[in-house]
Amino acid sequence: MVFSSISFLYYFLPITLLLYVIVPKKAKNFVLLITSLFFYFYGEPRYILVLIFSCIFNYYYGKYLEKAPANFKKKLLVINLVVNFGILFYFKYFNFFLENINYLFATNLSWTGIIMPIGISFFTFQATSYVIDIYKGDIKSAKNVFTFATYLSLFPQLIAGPIVRYQTVSGELENRTVNFDLFASGIKRLIIGLAKKVLLANVLGELTKNLVNLTTQSVLSYWLQAVANTLQIYFDFSGYSDMAIGLGLMFGFHFLENFNYPLIARSITDFWRRWHISLSSWFRDYIYIPLGGSRVSNYKKYRNIFIVWMITGLWHGASWNFILWGIYFAIFLMIEKAFLLTILDKHKVLGHIYTLFLVLISFIIFNETSISNIILFLKNMFGFNHLHFANIETIYFLKNYAGVIIISIIASIPWLKIVKKKMSLGNFSAKVLSIMEPVFYIGLFIIVTAYIVDESFNPFLYFRF
């Protein structure tokens, strides 16, 4: 079940909200737990036991670790990491591992029955951060297994994040309230996320599909694919994060922001402070800093960056293009840390152009499944295969989708947010805004619903992670 579906918006969510409102305060977590497990079971019935095992295992392990003797805690933590990441490795990487063994040793090993459970990367990282934070003494263990299971399986962020740490919501798991303003903010954020996903990401996905299937390609068609694909990934994932944050607010939870207009970044370092913030901060706190972070020799500092970004690439998928994608970012982050960041800070326009170009190239690597396809795409993009710059088909799709591309670019920068803020400061404009805002959101939701009913192309790209 996806958020941008009729079954979720008009059946699951209203029924869940109704049950949540009518039950007493002590039973609200239980309602969220049961509905969240149903939500997961609806989309992934085969592997719901993996999620339930993670809930039970990590809760009781955290309790035991908390009370264990200090000299025994590190060994217990290592065992927990082996179990959690062993399960993740089996479901997500085992076939990839066998493929590479077959290639290296000319064997024919296979284990085709493995299918990756949806969202396993996200709930594994959340469970692991919970146990690590108990080990470090940063948090106390959950009150009971049902509270922890509610946290780990909470449907707004279960499938594709953001990665919510227990310490962020521990207080709200025990005691939270929802007032009209908070609920209204949640609805507005949900609608914005739906619009990003349905009206922008899905349409950009259709454009990419049409461009891939062109009878005759051109240099311009490859550039359009690169731009459309980058914008699609951004609005797909940031739209999901907006919906998750909005749904959290509707139930009284404050999830941290996961995107902060990354396409206005002026360096790759700045980009990764703005893109998928919950993941980059997870790797920073649980891998980069324990390795020594930046407070080590230059060799170790660059080694740490390389390790973290290779793992970041691998986290996104069991494929060499993802590993290459991580190494690609590692190289530029190391160069920036060495000297380039100082130059980019002084030349902000240049920094912005540099960042957009590298990000555009990065998502070609991200999207193409083989190294040969990546090389071919880049050659065609830069005119090395003697393609015409443009043709009739490319111009046709450019004209037809120019509107959505322009709207997507405007939506990827904070201009509208700034205008809204300025309007709210004036008495007359604030009154106009208060009248127009509900009309805008209701109208936007109606349009989104119409698109959902009408279209068949509605995948969430980040479900595969």
Residues with catalytic function:
316
What is the number of other CB atoms lying within 10 angstroms of the CB of residue 210?
A: 18
Nearest C-alpha neighbor of 377 from the set 387, 364, 391, 392: 364
Rounded CA gap, 244 and 249, in Å?
9
Query: According to DSSP H, which parts of 265-347 are helical?
Result: 268-274, 277-283, 298-316, 320-335, 341-346
Read out DSSP for 33-63?
A: HHHHHHHHHHH-GGGHHHHHHHHHHHHHHHH
What is the number of residues in the chain? 465
Whether 149 and 173 have beta carbons less than 8 Å apart is answered as no
Burial readout 400-428 (b: 16 or more C-beta within 10 A, e: otherwise):
ebeebbeebeebbeeeeeeeeeebeeeee
Rounded CA gap, 44 and 279, in Å?
23
Helix axes 166-174, 120-136, angle to 10 degrees: 90
Side chain identity, residue 66: E
Residue with tokens 């160069």: 335
Side chain identity, residue 200: L
Name the CA radius of gyration of the chain, rounded: 23
Whether 304 and 311 have beta carbons less than 8 Å apart is answered as no
Q: Which residues have C-beta within 8 Å of that of residue 332, sequence separation ≥ 6?
A: 268, 358
- How many angstroms separate the first and last alpha carbons of the chain? 16
Phi-psi group of 259: left, alpha or beta (phi > 0 → left; psi -120 to 50 → alpha; rest → beta): beta
Q: Which residues have C-beta within 8 Å of that of residue 439, sequence separation ≥ 6?
A: none
- For the chain, what is the largest distance between any 2 Cα atoms, rounded to a whole number of angstroms? 74
Rounded CA gap, 23 and 3, in Å?
24
